[in-house]
Amino acid sequence: MIAEELTAQGTDATVINRGIAGDRAVDLERRWDDEVLAEHPDVLTVYVGVNDMWRRFDSDDPTTAEAFEATYRRLLRSVRAESLLLVEPYFVPVRDEQRAWLDDLDAKRAVVARLAGETGARLVPLHEAMTRAAAELGTEAVVPDGVHPTPTGSRIIAEAWLAAAADVSTIAAGAEAHR
């Protein structure tokens, strides 16, 4: 959706998605240089965190906020801040017992927001937007399992990214100047 919108705006962008469902920050770190930085992106979006929360509850394999932050910081060391967007992880509880999961995720959301502020990256806020949309439209219409978006949820994510990016051509031009 983002690629389509960028094309419609007249931006000559190639969008490459290196995301892998189920990855945590440590999984992304293992392939960061070869699969992400090797592409020499002008604009880089980092979207990680919900699985760092989820694995605590589905596999008894927790990632502390401190470990998540340490890994995330290592990832960001080699990235140009003026070309960086950090996506806030979100989760919409679908069962009562999942409400407690938000405490774990809130710490990771805070890490992403803090790192965006420290690096000058643009923050793509999703948690409140997805929570609000699920309350208004129904969870099934937006994110039936709390994590994986429907087309409606995907549109909300794309719109949040586009709003945060504001003018991707300016971001890309700035990144090109710093190559």
pLDDT of residue 61: 93
Question: Is the overall model pTM greater than 0.85, yes or no?
Answer: yes
pLDDT of residue 117: 94
Burial label for 149, CB within 10 Å (0-12, 13-18, 19+), is: buried
Q: Where are the alpha helices (DSSP H) in the chain?
A: 2-8, 25-31, 50-58, 65-76, 101-119, 127-137, 139-142, 151-165, 168-177
- Given a contact cutoff of 8 angstroms between Cβ atoms, the answer to whether 24 and 48 are in contact is yes
- Given a contact cutoff of 8 angstroms between Cβ atoms, the answer to whether 153 and 143 are in contact is yes
Band (178; pLDDT cuts 50, 70, 90): very low
Tens digits of per-residue pLDDT, 123-170? 999 999 999 999 999 999 999 999 999 999 999 999 999 999 986 545
Average pLDDT over residues 53-78: 96
